[in-house]
Structure 1
Amino acid sequence: MADASPDKTAIRNAATVIVLRDRQTTPHILMGQRGANAAFMPNKFVFPGGAVDATDKTVPLAHPVPAPCAARLADDAPENLADALAVAAIRELWEETGLVLGTPAPWAGPVPADWQSFAATGHVPTAAKLQFVFRALTPPGRPRRFDARFFLVDAADLASDPDDFSAASDELSHLQWVPLREARRFDMPFITEVVLSEIEARVQDTAAPASVPFFKNNDEESLFLRLRGA
């Protein structure tokens, strides 16, 4: 997002991925720990994710974001951002965990530099199984601010072995499948705890939510809204 708050910290669009495993039996979620020297949320356990890059808007998806989610992503947001958010989510998942959310196929054109390793797996990204479940705007006064969209995906829909983190970067350490009921014992950001509550409430429900919570911390006040799509 181009505008900036009075504290001069620019707000960047971002995407986060919650990978859920064994949801019908013993639900686990994938988490990792940010480095001690990270500028944003050091040492915290988080879901894979990060800011939308300029090239994310140019990467084609094998399948777009499903219609209900796309409509809610468009609420109170710049136009034509839904697919870029999904692309960013898939890229960050790959970079930070080495897991592939894609469809086996050749790329139709030139592959951006930061997608070369993903393309080498023989896949193109797909958003068909991404489910938009939460949105949060970082409060003013933080060293970095993000307008983050949280996506949920089932580990069964990954195109790679969910236990193989060999291609992961070093952005997150201690990557692990955490039992959902034990996740709160980890040191995590407040907003991650809020998102966990949403996941716990609908872990057995595979349908897209009727509306998506939006924790909007703007410069005047904090609002808890619901995104329902146009």
Structure 2
Amino acid sequence: MTDAPADTPIRDAATVIVLDRSSPNGPTVLMGQRGSGAAFMPSKYVFPGGAVDAADADVRFSAPSDPSQHHRLAAEPARDPAPTPESLLAAALRELAEETGMLTGAAGPAPEGWDHYARAGLSPDPAALIFLFRAITPPGRTRRYDARFFLLDATRLHGDRNDFSAACDELSHLHWVPLDEARALDLPFITEVVMAEVAAIARTPAQLAPPEAVPFFDNRAREPRFLRIR
């Protein structure tokens, strides 16, 4: 990997971990593989996600997002101006739709440019997204992201959760990965850390709910910092 300057701009990003606990063989998560020629994390298996776009700030949802998570999403801003909680949630749902074809929402008008939702007659609903984890890419990388990871129960998906025909070509080998087998894949370090958080949640019988605190790997500077956002 070619080193990048320490001041590589940090872009805000959102990632979605779709968790399916319905299989009798144990919980699974939706993952895909980045291309070998990708500029960021080539050939790695990752959760669907990507950078926040400017238009994400203007998205109108079918229902309000969970206000109890807003203060966590707004905490510890890494950029000025900081992204709004709504723009992070919109980016998460948009990237999930683009990279996998998976949707969650209710009948209603789709935001402009959200073709997946428009074809399904749906308006996106962020209420099921649970803010689970946050990490900033360390200095020296060709690209750096301030990534918020959201957990989504697969029961909230619209349509066939095994139909990836509407996915773009950003990720290949899209499939539901058993949590017990995920560690054998070629994963980025931070994805391995997030996977441990998911595994602890996945095996509880209770309904998915926001954690007591959100782990945050803050790598804005050369000296890393770890904290929990409450």
| Fold agreement, TM-score > 0.5 | yes
- Tell me, which stretches of 5 or more residues in structure 2 are unaligned? none
Residue 80 of structure 1, CA deviation: 5.9
- Structure 1 residue 117 and structure 2 residue 116: aligned? yes
Q: Distance between the aligned counterparts of 1:215 and 1:160, measured in 2?
A: 35
SS at match of 2:126: coil
Kindly tell me: are residues 41 and 103 of structure 1, through their superposed partners in 2, closer, same or farther at Cα, counting changes over 3 Å?
A: same
Amino acid at match of 1:116: D
Alpha-carbon separation, structure 1, partners of 2:54 and 2:22: 34
Change in CA separation of 1:86 and 1:185 when aligned onto 2, cut-off 3 Å: same
1:214 paired residue among 205, 213, 216: 216
State the alpha-carbon separation in 2 of the partners of residues 32 and 105 from structure 1: 29
Q: Output aligned runs, 1:54-133, within 5 Å.
A: 54-77=54-77, 81-107=84-110, 111-113=111-113, 115-133=114-132
1:126-141 pair list within 5 angstroms:
126-141=125-140
Q: Distance in 2 between matches of 1:80 and 1:174?
A: 31
Q: How far apart, CA to CA, are the structure 2 residues paired with 1:140 and 1:23?
A: 40
Q: Which residue of 1 aligns with 2:46?
A: 46
Which of structure 1's runs of 4+ aligned residues deviate more than 4 A? none
Distance 2:116 2:162 in 1: 19
| Secondary structure of 2:95 counterpart | helix
Query: Which residue does the alignment assign to 2:147?
Result: 148
Q: How many residues align?
A: 220
* 1:224 aligned residue: 226
Distance in 1 of aligned mates of 2:39 and 2:222:
25
- For the Cα contact (< 8 Å) 2:50–2:91, is it kept in 1? yes
Gaps of 5+ in 1: none
CA distance in 2, matches of 1:144, 1:162: 31
AA paired with 1:160?
Answer: G
| 1:38 Cα deviation from its structure 2 partner | 0.5
The DSSP-based 3-state class of the residue aligned with 1:221 is coil
Report the counterpart of residue 196 of structure 2 in structure 1. Answer: 197
Is the contact between residue 101 and residue 116 of structure 2 (CA under 8 Å) also seen in structure 1?
Answer: no
What is the root-mean-square deviation in Å for CA atoms of aligned residues? 1.7
Q: Name the CA distance, whole Å, in 1 between partners of 2:7 and 2:71.
A: 30
In 2, the alpha carbon distance for the partners of 1:80 and 1:189 equals 25
Q: 1:197 to 1:96 in 2, by over 3 A?
A: same
Classify the secondary structure of the residue corresponding to 1:215: strand
Asked if residue 165 in structure 1 is aligned to residue 164 in structure 2, the reply is: yes
Kindly provide the amino acid, as one letter, of the partner of residue 33 in structure 1: Q
Q: Deviations over 1:179-203 (max 9, x none)?
A: 0111000001000000001111122
Preserved contact between residue 136 and residue 216 of structure 1 (Cα < 8 Å): yes
| Bigger mean CA offset, 43-52 vs 72-81 | 72-81
Q: Using the alignment, how far apart are the partners of 1:148 and 1:64 within structure 2?
A: 22
Matched residue type, 1:71: H
For residues 143-188 of structure 1, give each alpha carbon's deviation from its aligned partner in whole angstroms, at most 9, with x where no partner exists.
Answer: 0000000000011011121111010000000001000111000001
How much has 1:24 moved relative to structure 2?
A: 8.0
Match of 2:30 in 1: 30
